[in-house]
Structure 1
Amino acid sequence: MTAFQPDLSSALAGSACLGAWAHDPASDRIALSPVLARLLAVPAEAATGTSLTLALAAVEAEDAVRVAGVLRAAGEDGRPFEAEFRTRPGPDGARWLRLMGRCGRDPATGAVTTQGLAFDLTEGRRPVGSDAQQAQRQVNRLADHAAAMKGLVAGLRNPPLARLVDEVAVEVGHELARHLRGGGRQVH
């Protein structure tokens, strides 16, 4: 693969892609790639269609409730989404995973299915490098999330929440500036 001739399979392999999944909102059943099924402790024979409850049993409880809600909402509005969650510690240890997908209607059958890809984020969350490099990566992620929150809160018509998100964004900006200056004194 070169920058001028991208290759999808190489790109997916390099992105920690765990494979595809599909959720049927009507039956609340989900099909998982073999790797994703293994990480979620779903038996191989059930990976082609198991209850969402079973598939989320190996996910941290508060994350499982949120992921189930995200999948149900996607089944209702059809918009693209992504959801990050943690698995409970198992043979592979605890993992950070991301589901990305959207819901659509099969033109032939009219059936509604939410489907997408799963990614393993665990390696990107493990400490690597010096403390300063780890802190810089953490602040960069904070800045990404702060920018995402600002974009999301705008449509909620909740001025007090918008002010709080603005305050968080300013504090994250101060922290980012402090790290970019080499970790000197506090900026504010």
Structure 2
Amino acid sequence: MTDFHPDFATAFVHSACIGAWAHDPDTDRLALAPALARLLSLSEAEAFGAPLGVALARIEAEDALRLESVLWAAGRDGCPFEAEFRTRPGPGGPRWLRLMGRCARDPASGARATQGLAFDLTEGRADGPADWRDQRRANRLADHAVAMKGLVAGLRNPPLARLVDEVATEVGHEVARRLRGAGGGVH
């Protein structure tokens, strides 16, 4: 970045992006960037064409089920998505990863492919003083509460909407407590 102009290359390097991935919803196979394959403890051969189930076995069970559902939905509706999940402990310990992507048809062949980028979020969850980590957690909770409020509105489920409102209110109180305790700064 020079003066005050964004630099894509620098931003990308510092973004925690670990590479691209692709899922073929018709054959249920994956292709993964080498760094992503390593974080999932997959061999180089498995990184190109492994069944989805092989990669899901390297992810915490409750997260794997949700990720499989997200990929299935993306293959059907083509909407953009993002999903976070935890890897099972490996040589570098468990990792927090995020996949972002969408499914589209190749105009020439008509084949569907879900593709996107993977990000390693582990560093932001573990680094820094405890009060900074707690503030980050509270901020992430607030992000998720806002997302839940937007999602629950379309479900037409008043009891669930009330619960989400209660959670959002309590999360707001937690964020406020953290801000007061940190002298008003946001981390």
Q: Which moved more, 1:9-18 or 1:89-98?
A: 9-18
Say if 2:82 is the partner of 1:65: no
Say if 2:145 is the partner of 1:137: no
- Structure 2 Cα separation of the partners of residues 148 and 19 of structure 1: 26
Deviations 1:127-164 (A, max 9, x none): 411x3333222211111111111111111111111100
- Counterpart position of 1:51: 51
3-state SS of paired residue (1:108)? coil
Q: How high is the TM-score relative to the length of structure 1?
A: 0.91
- Counterpart position of 1:109: 109
Pairs within 5 Å for 1:117-156: 117-129=117-129, 131-156=130-155
- Structure 1 Cα separation of the partners of residues 148 and 107 of structure 2: 35
Contact 2:125-2:133 at 8 Å conserved across structures: no
- Structure 2 Cα separation of the partners of residues 54 and 153 of structure 1: 33
Contact 2:22-2:116 at 8 Å conserved across structures: yes
Amino acid of the structure 2 residue aligned with 1:155: G
- Counterpart position of 1:4: 5
Amino acid of the structure 2 residue aligned with 1:6: D
3-state SS of paired residue (1:44)? coil
- Structure 2 Cα separation of the partners of residues 57 and 179 of structure 1: 37
- Structure 2 Cα separation of the partners of residues 106 and 37 of structure 1: 25
Contact 2:19-2:117 at 8 Å conserved across structures: yes
Q: Structure 1: 5+ residue runs without aligned partners?
A: 184-188
Deviations 1:69-105 (A, max 9, x none): 1101100000000010000100111000000000000
- Counterpart position of 1:81: 81
3-state SS of paired residue (2:139)? helix
- Once the two structures are aligned, what percentage of the paired residues are identical? 68
- Counterpart position of 2:185: none
- Structure 2 Cα separation of the partners of residues 133 and 41 of structure 1: 30
- Structure 2 Cα separation of the partners of residues 134 and 110 of structure 1: 46
3-state SS of paired residue (1:89)? coil
3-state SS of paired residue (1:104)? strand
- Structure 2 Cα separation of the partners of residues 43 and 118 of structure 1: 18
Q: CA deviation at 1:5?
A: 4.2
Structure 1 runs (4+) greater than 4 angstroms displaced? none
- Counterpart position of 1:173: 172
- Counterpart position of 1:28: 28
Deviations 1:100-140 (A, max 9, x none): 000000000000100000000000110411x3333222211
- Structure 1 Cα separation of the partners of residues 95 and 22 of structure 2: 20
3-state SS of paired residue (1:97)? strand
